[in-house]
């Protein structure tokens, strides 16, 4: 949401009719944040599984990386020493974590796009306003003003 300070700044410096760009940018940012939050909420419930190369270990984790289950193939595991089995479990856990991170990045990628550009490749007016407002906020923060 655009706060009152930003609205006053926009009224001072933006050309007439450009205020709608701020509202559109605010709505777009809100929709992006809501979409990303929905992905994260669904992701918390997701399960990711990986199996070791020799098929002796299968690890299932949730979207936060917490181990849900570890399944061992007793026929293969019986022939492994403790160090080799431990290494297989850790490596399989890493593979499951890698799968979850890859999936999360894929699901969040629509919400992490570069600034909007017009057909000529330059920044759109809404993106310029958004960037300018962020710049002003950073400068004010450095100066200790709110």
Ramachandran assignment for 3, one of left (phi > 0), alpha (psi -120 to 50 degrees), beta (any other): beta
Q: Which residue has tokens 């923060």?
A: 141
The pLDDT value recorded for residue 109 is 77
Tell me the C-alpha distance between 120 and 118, whole Å. Answer: 5
Spatial contact of 92 and 57, defined as CB atoms under 8 Å apart: yes
The pLDDT value recorded for residue 106 is 83
Name the DSSP letter for residue 114: P
Pairing assessment for the beta strands 47-51 and 67-72 based on DSSP bridges = unpaired
Query: Per-residue pLDDT tens for 64-97?
Result: 889 999 999 998 888 889 999 999 999 999 999 9
Tell me the C-alpha distance between 68 and 45, whole Å. Answer: 11
pTM of the predicted model as reported, rounded to 2 decimal places: 0.57
Low-confidence ranges of the chain (pLDDT < 70): 1-3, 5-7, 9-27, 111-126, 128-129, 140, 143-146
């Amino acid at each position: 949401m655009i706060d009152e300070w930003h609205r006053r700044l926009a009224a001072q410096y933006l050309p007439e009719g450009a205020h709608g760009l701020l509202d559109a940018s605010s709505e777009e940012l809100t929709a992006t944040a809501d979409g990303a939050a929905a992905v994260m909420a669904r992701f918390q419930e997701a399960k990711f599984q990986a199996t070791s190369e020799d098929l002796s270990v299968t690890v299932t984790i949730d979207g936060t990386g917490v181990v849900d289950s570890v399944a061992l193939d007793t026929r293969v595991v019986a022939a492994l020493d403790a160090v080799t089995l431990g290494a297989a479990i850790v490596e399989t856990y890493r593979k499951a974590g890698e799968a979850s991170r890859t999936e999360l990045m894929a699901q969040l990628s629509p919400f992490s796009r570069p600034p909007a550009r017009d057909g000529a490749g330059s920044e759109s007016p809404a993106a310029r306003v958004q960037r300018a407002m962020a710049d002003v906020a950073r400068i004010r923060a450095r100066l200790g003003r709110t």
